[in-house]
């Protein structure tokens, strides 16, 4: 989850090691960021964390701890918890 510098470094390494691009998902709130990542790396993108988690076998949180405040730091963790809870209910 994420599409910043940390996530892009991981995408690049996975792709270099032979991971199929269609198996890698990136999430971001910004459509511009998603478009940039899709064009640069060819990975799957979505603004929907729930969709990315449903499509994934492994989830990697790539979020900055340098968020402006504690509430912004909690947003990705809250989204992951909601997505995992949703998977439990549907599975």
- At residue 70, the pLDDT reads 60
Bigger pLDDT: 44 vs 89: 44
- CATH number of 10's domain: 3.40.50.720
pTM equals 0.68
Closest CA to 60 of 76, 72, 78: 76
CB burial string 38-59: b at 16+ within 10 A, e below? beebebbbbeebbebbeebeee
Q: Provide the domain count of the chain.
A: 1
Q: Are 22 and 44 in contact (CB under 8 A)?
A: yes
User: What pLDDT digit, counting tens, does each position of 28-66 carry?
Assistant: 888 999 999 999 999 999 998 888 888 888 777 776 666
- At residue 31, the pLDDT reads 93
Q: In terms of residue numbers, what domain contains 19?
A: 5-90
User: What pLDDT digit, counting tens, does each position of 13-33 carry?
Assistant: 989 999 899 888 888 888 999
């Amino acid at each position: 989850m994420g599409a910043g510098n940390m996530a892009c470094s991981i995408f690049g390494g996975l792709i270099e090691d032979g991971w199929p691009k269609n198996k890698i998902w990136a999430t971001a709130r910004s459509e511009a960021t998603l478009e940039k990542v899709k064009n640069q790396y060819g990975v799957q993108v979505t603004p929907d964390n729930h969709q990315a988690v449903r499509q994934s076998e492994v989830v990697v949180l790539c979020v900055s701890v340098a968020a402006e405040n504690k509430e912004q730091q909690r947003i990705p963790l809250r989204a992951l918890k909601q997505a995992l809870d949703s998977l439990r209910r549907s599975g």
